[in-house]
Structure 1
Amino acid sequence: MSRQIQLTLASTFPRRAVPGRTILEPSVTRTRVRPADLDFYLHVNNGVYLQMMDIARSNLLADLGAFPLLRREGWYPVVASSAMTYRRSLRLGEPVEITSRVLGWDLRVVYLEQVFRRRGELCARGLVAGRFLGRSGFRVPAPDVAVLLGADPTSPDLPDDVAAWAAALDVAHRSPAEGDVAR
């Protein structure tokens, strides 16, 4: 099964919510490296990591019981930016564990870390800045999403490396005077 089909299934028929799961608790997705994941050099293609991360983020939302809440509001997630660091190659048949966790948010963006491990060994780390959009395309303020998912609207402090990354990429909050209006 292609990763795109897997993402469609994970989002259309999400796994069951984990009772009591909070927005700041990690979510774990387990998979194996498949033949279609490999590039010419017989290790996971860099683009496939991003597809695996999409699936893992859908599982994070499922664990939180977010899909019915988001559907009710007409909100959906999109990636504003991502960055990857690769440490070790993943090869055919190897087990992969992707741990996804929300690190915090500002007025516009939710920041996540997604870590790939093989038998406990760090293989890759991804940072994702995600937004939520409404049906008409308006940007949903990230604190509103946090509240919908049962969290306090005030974010925990971002780790220094993530805050610096967000500032460098200009995905962090801007005031309306700087040309960004949420609705």
Structure 2
Amino acid sequence: MTQLIRLLRVIIASLFRDRLGPFDCSALAFRVMPADIDINLHMNNARYLAMMDLGRWDFILRSGLWRHVLKEKLQPVIGGAIVRFRRPLPPFRRFVLKTRQITWDDRWLYLEQTIESDGMLICSAQVRAAFLRGSATVPPARIAELVGAGRTPPSAPTWVQTWRDFDAGLDHQPSLVATGEVSCAH
């Protein structure tokens, strides 16, 4: 329920906040609520990812991309995230979620998202996303163009190529469980 209320707040606030350009940073302020905490009495690691969904929706709404999402029946999806947790967030602590588009390639849009509190980095994520129309992926260059970024992507940071290389290696590596090298008890 807490997350639904936050989503509604993001949607309503987007009507009154400045429009975002293609590489502008979305910044949203929140507070850790009791429903966000886990047994260790800090924000649950899954909640960080749920919060980051809100940042991506803020970008979609404030960049004007939402019109195309509705009109063309696009579905935003995440293809992966590299998340680094730096510090815990205790109950009722205020924090700021920042989201910005970094670049794109022929398959993915790359975003950077951070959560900060009291001037400290709490969590950071590199995210790759796409938009689907039915079962087909909309070319990321088309999405970038819809938000005004043009068709030529900015230079990719080193981590983007490292991620691509890592994925290429995994694509050719069978699962240890599937090959029977590691067993899982039922």
Partners of 2:132 and 2:165 lie apart in 1 by 21
Is 2:61 the counterpart of 1:62? yes
Distance 1:121 1:13, change over 3 A: same
Q: How far does the alpha carbon of each residue in 1:120-171 deviate from its partner, in whole angstroms, 9 at most, with x for none? A: 111110111101001x22110000101111111111111112321233125x
Letter in 2 for 1:166: R
Cα deviation, residue 69, structure 1: 2.2
SS class of match (2:75): strand
Is 2:111 the counterpart of 1:126? no
Which of structures 1 and 2 has the bigger CA Rg?
Answer: 2
Q: TM-score, normalised by structure 2?
A: 0.83
Q: TM-score, normalised by structure 1?
A: 0.84
CA contact (8 A) 2:42 2:88 kept: yes
Distance 1:129 1:41, change over 3 A: same
Q: Percent identity?
A: 31
SS class of match (2:87): coil
> Bigger CA drift: 28-37 or 154-163?
154-163
Cα deviation, residue 115, structure 1: 0.6
Partners of 1:166 and 1:59 lie apart in 2 by 27
Match runs of 1:99-138 below 5 Å: 99-134=98-133, 136-138=134-136
Cα deviation, residue 5, structure 1: 5.0
Is 2:78 the counterpart of 1:79? yes
Partners of 2:164 and 2:54 lie apart in 1 by 23
Q: Which residue of 1 aligns with 2:25?
A: 26
Partners of 1:13 and 1:74 lie apart in 2 by 21
Cα deviation, residue 76, structure 1: 2.0
Q: Which residue of 1 aligns with 2:146?
A: 148
> Bigger CA drift: 58-67 or 48-57?
58-67
RMSD: 1.8
Q: Which residue of 2 aligns with 1:162?
A: 160
Runs of 4+ more than 4 Å apart? 10-14
Cα deviation, residue 70, structure 1: 1.9
Q: How far does the alpha carbon of each residue in 1:83-138 deviate from its partner, in whole angstroms, 9 at most, with x for none? A: 1101111011111101101110001100001011002111110111101001x221
Letter in 1 for 2:166: A
Name the count of aligned residue pairs. 167
Q: Which runs of 5+ in 1 are unaligned?
A: 171-183
